[in-house]
Amino acid sequence: MILVKLSQFTYRVLRERKYMKELAQSGMPYIDKMDGYQFEIYLQALFQQLGYKPQVTKKSGDFGADLVMKGKEKIVIQAKRYGIKNRVSISAV
């Protein structure tokens, strides 16, 4: 029973790693179809490929933080993925 649970866990971890690697390598046409949360997951995958250990915050009550990367210093990222009609304003930047 323990061996079955361990193999299921290993399979899930390997499948998630493969998905995150493929996601990080996706192109603009795929990114353009993402909603805000999917974009945050994409950024998580991208930063993982760059050697960081990012964590996506919960969807609400995060005070604007979308990703947090901890290390020697804490880096907080606020991600925006708007379409051509909904541009991020200069004041937001």
For residue 57, the enclosing domain spans 2-77
Decide: 81 and 66 in contact? Cβ < 8 Å. Answer: no
55 within a domain of the structure (yes/no)? yes
Tell which wins on pLDDT, 55 or 6: 55
pLDDT for 62: 65
89 within a domain of the structure (yes/no)? no
47 within a domain of the structure (yes/no)? yes
Q: Which residues pair with 69 in a beta bridge?
A: 54, 75
13 within a domain of the structure (yes/no)? yes
Provide the number of structural domains found in the chain: 1
pLDDT digits (tens, 9 = 90+) for 12-65: 878 887 877 777 777 777 888 888 888 888 899 888 888 888 999 887 666 778
73 within a domain of the structure (yes/no)? yes
Which of 45, 47, 35, 49 minimizes the C-alpha distance to 83? 35
d(Cα 88, Cα 19) in Å, to the nearest integer?
29
pLDDT for 68: 92
